[in-house]
Chain A
């Protein structure tokens, strides 16, 4: 879900030629502040995950459950540039993030959340730890430290308590609560990337919904008002393998021209899986997630431009519903832990046919800004994908930003078909953006995922819809065509028959929802 991947099969390792960085590397040993303590990165390898780094230093509370960002047993808190305040505590999967990507950053683990007591006394528990412990939120306890970290991140979310009851008085304001939000403003989606095999989740939900607001004396709460840790230029090398982070886009693009074999990562939510599950080792990994040029979000009169390295969580919170189709997508895109790292640049860079953002961006008629050392070009997303995990992006080119033209079509819908509602990979996904005027479909844009080697536009269906009345007959005719778009396949996620059927059904459902025929379908799918 992240980081353009470059084939590096024929590459012969050679040392970095950027002398200034080698100098910086020798002068400043990469260090990570873990639970307030400066911890040197060495002797970890450049590919070593933050999880292994922490465990090898004796912080074994952080666990490996799956090593691919699915279970959250490795969740830790990192300090990141904040959306509402200077700094946010953000929970990420430590199994996916290279430790070297945390050079100069601050990390808190489950061990660090508890305040160490005097010798011989029990540590004072963090409020989320206390609630988890006393409410039966742990059974085998293996997933618990990860839950605690994910829960702590939500505990510190600055806007969580805005609409909720005062601290210690969380029981009565049920009017603010719904099936996925507690009376204390706790968003259950914060735990969507954490799996527990023992409890059945009820006591964990009770704990989450019972935590109050952080006190002013809480050092982690105070930390939010200080500037975030700055991004540190990093060049960490070992045995001809390198992890590099530059300060500017220009420097990054120059390095990328020099090292077209390099793997580019932002949140490393995709590359981390390659490293752990497929044992891939890159000669050079370049981190782009803190490049200021890739982190801008501009809302103009005729378009919205979203930096390719903003995390999906940042986009979600900063857009705050301005793009309804994206707002519908985000809660269905992987889990909160993944969205805290994953970027649009990464999701488009991998070119996966089952990424969840391409169908939506296709329906929105988005385009991509591709930058290399010579300049920048704009490519419509519809022309971007060329084959299975292939695109028009050239070696040395980076996705800098995604442009969404305005105004948006008024009728939109995103339908993701998957086995599990939270954090699953879609078997098919369909995004609709329709302009309906006086009961007639003026324009129709439909993006599909999971039905071909690339995400596609449903052009034939769009043609059937456009110019016709928005009626059951039109929808029926268009659904028949939509079922035939692409070439869905049989696999462990779904049969091709079901995939095809769901394409047609998604349009019918959109119609039912839009015409108010099925108010309760929202209850099931939202």
Chain B
């Protein structure tokens, strides 16, 4: 067992506990960025000037009328930027654009004494455009070859030979929807200037260091003149990894120019129309199977909808390619990726970061091809799993470690779900019910953990012990509800050997831990946990020396357990508080900076080969649905999940991540239906679903009626802190089971053996058309009807 993964007995990690802020959450006392506004004096409010056209060069921008509106203090335009006019890292994302690139693009911001004044001011700003043609859909982008960024190609084996050896070859096309993050807390920032001109920005950001960097370059400052703090976020899901920076920069610019605090908070409509989403994808594929249904070759082109600027589209597309194999060994593959440039918001990170999109392609292929191969879909999936002991590698050349866990979670979930027996029950139910059918499907997940870009795989922490024995920890990760802070408290208490109540955690700030990576890629606990552990280990080593001299023994014989230092073969003990006080008087340093870098990673982005991931997370889900043949409406009757989180740091937190990720994934695949106006009418390019009333998230009615989540046991991960594994993203993809169950239920309305195409999201309407197509003996209706377009 590695030193990193080794867990002391009776450790605080592994104990099930609620979120560290739970009591503040339920009493409404937990503060979020915009709650600070009401505790800050003389705040100005920022409101965007959104241009409701889809594409065009700005020929005039007149602010004089806005300045006449009572309460308007200033209008911010590109001319006000002292540094670099760019909200991103690639110089393709002007903070104040000369060209409107999407419907609702903000071209200026109004500062007002009240939000109402700023709103009225924004409405009075006059913008004139030379309109330009626009690209809205993926089909249009592909037809006009409107692409940007890298065009990676992943190759393994000999694809042509693989197809030549295939007994069955199928081709298909699949396009699926983007997804709105719909964090309940919209983007928010509050900026202030201190007496020395330093900028302090409180931001709802998953990436405070990058927010700091971009605020600094926009203002023409150095990073040490800008501090960014994030108390907590009301949800992030990737939507606050890149996207908050520009909003923070606007607030900071306003504060710098006016000397007053500036608050920027998007309302829901602004958030929906201005911020990026999960990339929708188009996939064109060709797959070959041998006579037994084993995949021989895959040739696919994935096109992601990047929107108007690159943002994170390149790594998102790369991760999609890296996950098209999911749990299946594909000996010969050629998968190309490209990024469509469209006149829409700039799509960005979203839980899974392209992984779900890549995996959806292969799971859709499996679901469609199984009946064509005369196989049960469960059988087809099992037949293609990575096998233990064969040294199988992914199409990008990484050895698949612990492939036996693919089967372990799969078999366990079958057992927990009573899979075979329920399948028989469902078959009996379906034959007795002409208007209602049930489906039960099982799908698996293999998800690579680490940032593809090796440099991001580092974490930092600062741990302070005060004279009274209390401990304060800082680390580079942000809290967005995922329970990272809870886990970090548990890690610190475990490493130091003290009760949890001795440890407090300070909000994430760039002046405590510098150069942090985004809290993203599920890596928050791996990177920051190892850094916290490292800092605590340094302190523990120093304190063991102190304790050893007090207890008259060697440091290596001292243990600190539950806040008491003891030594082998002696009754003498030393309480933590006394130990710390003694250390202080002996002038022992009671603070430490911790650091961690993930070892053993390498990635050649050009060759698209390497071992970018420290390890893989595994999981499997069995979902049962019931479909109404009259309408296509359905409900999720039961879901069983077995998920591999290594040895859990905090089981209640991890189960919460699994359940929440699953339901969010089910939302993407079934309910959440993002619609853009792709007509040639005056509204072209407008987001049609720009409110909670039109963009529907899962509510209580989408929760599985029975929901059983089990964490895989004896699952120590050698390469991560205290044997745990990342958990944030992988469970989202367990929701493929719902989609496949819907496909099977729809198929049950028709004769056996027919291929059923199912649009994504599988709304009741989409399911209805799948049922209709199954009823027509599997002859699918034309695509337009199927996608409900």
- What is A's interface to B at a CB cutoff of 8 Å? 45, 55-56, 58-68, 70-71, 73, 109-111, 113-114, 122-123, 125, 129-130, 132-145, 148, 179, 188, 191-192, 194-203, 205, 273, 276-277, 279, 415, 417-425, 491-495, 497-498, 501-502, 505-506, 508-509, 512, 517-518, 520-521, 523-525
Contact = CB atoms under 8 A, between A and B. Distances in A.
B626 A523 contact: yes
Contacts of B269: 277
Contacts of A517: 434-435
Given A58-B39, A67-B267, A420-B696, A200 B703 contact: yes
Given A64-B267, A142-B185, A524-B634, 18 more contacts: A45-B116, A60-B28, A65-B692, A70-B692, A136-B19, A138-B481, A139-B482, A141-B24, A142-B32, A142-B235, A192-B701, A197-B181, A197-B235, A202-B704, A417-B764, A421-B701, A495-B765, A497-B785
Nearest to A47: B116
Contacts of B788: 494-495, 498
A424 B694 CA distance: 8
29 contacts: A65-B184, A68-B692, A129-B27, A130-B26, A134-B18, A138-B21, A140-B184, A140-B481, A141-B234, A192-B701, A197-B183, A200-B659, A200-B661, A200-B707, A201-B698, A203-B656, A205-B703, A273-B693, A277-B269, A417-B764, A419-B673, A419-B696, A419-B764, A420-B671, A421-B633, A421-B699, A425-B693, A425-B694, A505-B631
Contact of A142 (B119, B234, B653): B234
B700 A125 contact: no
A225 to B, nearest CB: 26
Q: Which of the listed residues B26, B237, B626, B696 has the most CB atoms from chain A within 10 Å of its own CB?
A: B26
Contacts, number: 275
Given A139-B482, A198-B481, A56 B700 contact: no
A55 B764 CA distance: 39
Contacts of A144: 25-26, 28
B568 interface: no
Contacts of A179: 705
Contacts of B631: 415, 417, 502, 505-506, 509, 525
A199 B185 contact: no
Interface in B13-34: 18-19, 21-32
A178 to B, nearest CB: 10
A501 to B, nearest CB: 7
Contact of B691 (A66, A415, A508): A66
Contacts of B28: 59-62, 109-111, 144-145, 148
Interface size classification for chain B = 35 or more
Question: Which A-B residue pairs are the 9 nearest by beta carbons?
Answer: A61-B28, A140-B481, A142-B234, A141-B25, A200-B663, A110-B28, A70-B692, A139-B481, A421-B701
Given A197-B182, A200-B664, A422-B699, A498 B765 contact: yes
Contacts of B23: 122, 125, 129, 133
B19 A139 contact: yes
Contact of B436 (A136, A138, A524): A524
Contacts of B435: 509, 512, 517-518, 520-521
Given A494-B765, A518-B436, A525-B631, A201 B663 contact: yes
B596 interface: no
A347 to B, nearest CB: 15
Nearest to B652: A136
B673 A111 contact: no
B277 interface: no
Contacts of B185: 63, 65, 140, 142
Nearest to A495: B788
B782 to A, nearest CB: 12
Contact of B701 (A66, A136, A420, A491): A420
B647 to A, nearest CB: 19
Interface in B737-789: 763-765, 768-769, 785, 788-789
Contacts of A136: 18-19, 22, 652-653, 655-656
A138 B19 contact: yes
Contacts of B429: 520
Nearest to B705: A179
Nearest to B694: A492
B168 to A, nearest CB: 34
A129 B38 contact: no
Q: Which of the listed residues B236, B652, B661, B765 has the most CB atoms from chain A within 10 Å of its own CB?
A: B765
B630 A508 contact: yes
B232 interface: yes
B688 A133 contact: no
Given A505-B630, A509-B631, A523-B626, A60 B35 contact: yes
A60 B25 CA distance: 11
A55 to B, nearest CB: 6
Nearest to B707: A202
B628 interface: yes
B29 A71 contact: no
Interface in B650-676: 652-653, 655-656, 659-664, 671, 673, 675
B249 interface: no
Interface of B: 18-19, 21-32, 35, 38-39, 116, 119, 181-185, 232-237, 267-269, 429, 433-436, 480-483, 626-628, 630-631, 633-635, 652-653, 655-656, 659-664, 671, 673, 675, 688-689, 691-694, 696-705, 707, 763-765, 768-769, 785, 788-789
A497 B32 CA distance: 45
A425 B700 CA distance: 16
A61 B700 CA distance: 22
Contacts of A498: 765, 768-769, 788
Contacts of B433: 518, 520
Nearest to B182: A197
Contacts of A509: 435, 628, 630-631
Given A60-B28, A143-B184, A524 B785 contact: no
Q: Which of the listed residues B30, B633, B789 has the most CB atoms from chain A within 10 Å of its own CB?
A: B633
Contact of A492 (B26, B232, B689): B689
A518 B631 CA distance: 13
A348 B28 CA distance: 36
Nearest to B661: A200
A203 B662 CA distance: 14
Contacts of B702: 420-421
Contact of B29 (A55, A111, A132, A524): A111
A279 B119 contact: yes
A520 B675 CA distance: 33
Contacts of A60: 28, 31, 35, 38
Nearest to B672: A419
B635 A421 contact: yes
Nearest to A523: B626
Contacts of B653: 136
A423 B692 CA distance: 11
B768 A202 contact: no
Q: Which of the listed residues A134, A136, A276, A505 has the most CB atoms from chain B within 10 Å of its own CB?
A: A136
A140 B634 contact: no
Contact of A70 (B19, B26, B693, B769): B693
A432 B527 CA distance: 60
Contacts of B688: 491-492
Given A123-B27, A521-B436, A524-B628, A70 B691 contact: yes
Contact of A55 (B22, B24, B38, B675): B38
Given A61-B28, A197-B182, A421-B633, A521 B38 contact: no
Given A140-B235, A521-B630, A524-B627, A199 B660 contact: yes
Given A125-B26, A422-B701, A512-B435, A520 B626 contact: yes
A199 B234 contact: no
A142 B30 CA distance: 8
Nearest to B119: A279
A492 B673 contact: yes
A426 to B, nearest CB: 12
Contacts of A415: 631
